């Protein structure tokens, strides 16, 4: 079994991830680039980060059986996978606890001024010079955009802190309950004290948060994004932060990752930044639950079963991908 993982990993992270898989498996971790083309030719499983998995790449992998992603799969051409007889699956919900905890940590860090106060103390400044403003979370209204596994977990955490919880969802059958009040997007945006994003990146959600939306928010609103950077028009967010159209932002994801050193986000005092680590609580590039799920799914496909959290449906598991690829335009 050859598993190809594509991403930017340190040597330590490579060792941690590789050692978690069965010893008999050939696990190869390479950065985006030429090495991908060399290794994809004989791999059975592809776990892609920071690369587009399109028809061209898939058709160069005649032995590929499964494309396995984390929670997000906006970088994978699902239709091409289906036409080529390749299973595609994500790990929906596996990182819900980790991401929700990260959202809560960002919330508390921002309103309790943790980064500022930590720097103040370590700078050995006179405490008589200390000046800051903060707030309790109780009584504040959080608006959750997307009520999947992560959104629901965030809602439960916030409810436990005596916050009011609003949510907007695509499914019209979802109704208000003791946990959340379902409302429309415009109402949520204009009334919430905190907006937390938990939707996938699709054509419908691409740059959903832009200048118009930021101008609808309260000037005291905090914006949190732990979903996908492409859901936000980053230049509009930067303008809103610089102009104090909103209170601030807590961001774990960005339009371009890693976040460029030249990004203005790195210079703003009303922003807390983390490097897309919300779903990786066990260390750099590692989440035990995530990789345990990957291993189970790989074994399922190897045994002729459908993967969990599948993103497509194949007519037969033993489809001849080479013949099908010749029929694609």
Q: Name which of 124, 160, 163 is nearest 141 in CA terms.
A: 163
| Mean pLDDT confidence for 226-236 | 98
| Mean pLDDT confidence for 107-120 | 97
State yes or no: pLDDT of 108 exceeds 80.
Answer: yes
The residue annotated as part of the active site, out of 35, 101, 255, 257, is 257
State yes or no: pLDDT of 250 exceeds 50.
Answer: yes
Q: How confident is the model at residue 318 (pLDDT cuts 50, 70, 90)?
A: very low
pTM for this predicted structure? 0.88
The residue annotated as part of the active site, out of 102, 198, 276, 287, is 276
Nearest-angstrom CA–CA distance, 94 and 99: 10
| 258: preceding bond cis by omega (within 30 degrees) | yes
| 265: preceding bond cis by omega (within 30 degrees) | no
Phi, psi of 205 (to 5 degrees): -105, -5
Would the CA dihedral through 199, 205, 210, 215 be positive or negative? negative
The pLDDT of residue 326 is 31
266 catalytically annotated:
no
Q: How many CB atoms lie within 10 A of CB 179?
A: 13
The pLDDT of residue 286 is 87
Q: In what side-by-side order are the strands of the sheet with 164-168? A: 181-182, 164-168, 141-145, 194-197, 222-225, 248-251, 271-273
63 catalytically annotated:
no
The pLDDT of residue 320 is 46
Domains in the chain and their CATH numbers? Answer: 2-93+284-325 (3.40.50.720), 96-273 (3.40.50.720)
The pLDDT of residue 323 is 36
Q: What is the residue-averaged pLDDT of the chain?
A: 94
| Mean pLDDT confidence for 110-138 | 95
The pLDDT of residue 67 is 98
b/e string for 39-70 if b means 16 or more Cβ within 10 A?
Answer: bbeebbbbbbbebebebebbbebeebbbbbbb
The pLDDT of residue 321 is 47
b/e string for 252-280 if b means 16 or more Cβ within 10 A?
Answer: bbbbeeebeeebebeebeebbbeebebbb
Which of 47-51, 152-156, 161-165 shows the lowest mean pLDDT across its residues? 47-51
State yes or no: pLDDT of 86 exceeds 80.
Answer: yes
- For residue range 6-34, list pLDDT tens digits in order: 999 999 999 999 999 999 999 999 999 99
| Mean pLDDT confidence for 223-243 | 98
**Residues facing residue 164 across a β-bridge:** 141
Q: Side-chain half-sphere of 166: how many Cα atoms within 13 Å?
A: 20
Would the CA dihedral through 62, 65, 70, 76 be positive or negative? positive
The residue annotated as part of the active site, out of 228, 234, 287, 290, is 228
Which of 9-13, 56-60, 110-114, 160-164 shows the lowest mean pLDDT across its residues? 9-13
276 catalytically annotated:
yes
Phi, psi of 153 (to 5 degrees): -65, -40
The pLDDT of residue 329 is 25
322 or 28, greater pLDDT: 28
Place of tokens 């986000």: 265
State yes or no: pLDDT of 308 exceeds 70.
Answer: yes
The pLDDT of residue 316 is 61
The pLDDT of residue 285 is 80
Q: Do residues 143 and 191 make contact, with C-beta atoms less than 8 angstroms apart?
A: yes
- Percent of the chain scored above 70 by pLDDT? 96
State yes or no: pLDDT of 120 exceeds 90.
Answer: yes
State yes or no: pLDDT of 268 exceeds 50.
Answer: yes
Q: Do residues 218 and 246 make contact, with C-beta atoms less than 8 angstroms apart?
A: yes
| Mean pLDDT confidence for 246-272 | 97
């Amino acid at each position: 079994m050859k598993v190809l993982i594509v991403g930017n990993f340190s040597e330590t992270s490579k060792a941690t991830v590789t050692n978690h898989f069965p010893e008999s498996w050939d696990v190869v971790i390479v950065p985006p680039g030429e090495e991908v083309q060399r290794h994809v030719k004989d791999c059975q499983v592809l776990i892609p980060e920071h690369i587009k998995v399109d028809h061209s790449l898939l058709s160069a992998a005649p032995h590929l059986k499964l494309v396995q992603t984390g929670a997000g799969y906006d970088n994978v051409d699902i239709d091409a996978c289906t036409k080529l007889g390749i299973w595609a699956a994500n790990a929906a919900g596996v990182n819900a606890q980790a991401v929700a905890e990260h959202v809560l940590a960002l919330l508390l860090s921002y309103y309790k001024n943790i980064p500022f106060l930590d720097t103040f103390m370590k700078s050995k400044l006179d405490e008589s010079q200390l000046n800051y403003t903060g707030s309790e979370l109780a009584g504040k209204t959080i608006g959750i955009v997307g009520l999947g596994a992560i959104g629901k977990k965030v809602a439960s955490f916030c409810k436990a802190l005596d916050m009011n919880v609003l949510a907007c969802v695509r499914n019209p059958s979802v109704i208000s309950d003791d946990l959340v009040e379902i409302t429309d997007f415009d109402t949520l945006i204009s009334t919430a004290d905190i907006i937390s994003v938990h939707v996938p990146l699709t054509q419908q959600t691409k740059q959903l948060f832009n200048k118009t939306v930021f101008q609808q928010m309260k000037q005291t609103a905090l914006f949190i994004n732990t979903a996908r950077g492409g859901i936000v028009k980053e230049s509009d967010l930067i303008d809103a932060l610089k102009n104090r159209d909103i209170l601030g932002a807590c961001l774990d994801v960005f339009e371009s990752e890693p976040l460029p050193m030249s990004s203005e986000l790195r210079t703003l005092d009303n922003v807390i930044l983390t490097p897309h680590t919300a779903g990786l609580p066990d260390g750099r590039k590692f989440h035990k639950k995530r990789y345990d799920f990957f291993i189970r799914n790989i074994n399922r496909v190897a045994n002729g079963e459908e993967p969990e959290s599948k993103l497509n449906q194949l007519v037969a598991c033993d489809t001849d991908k080479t013949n099908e690829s010749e029929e694609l335009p």
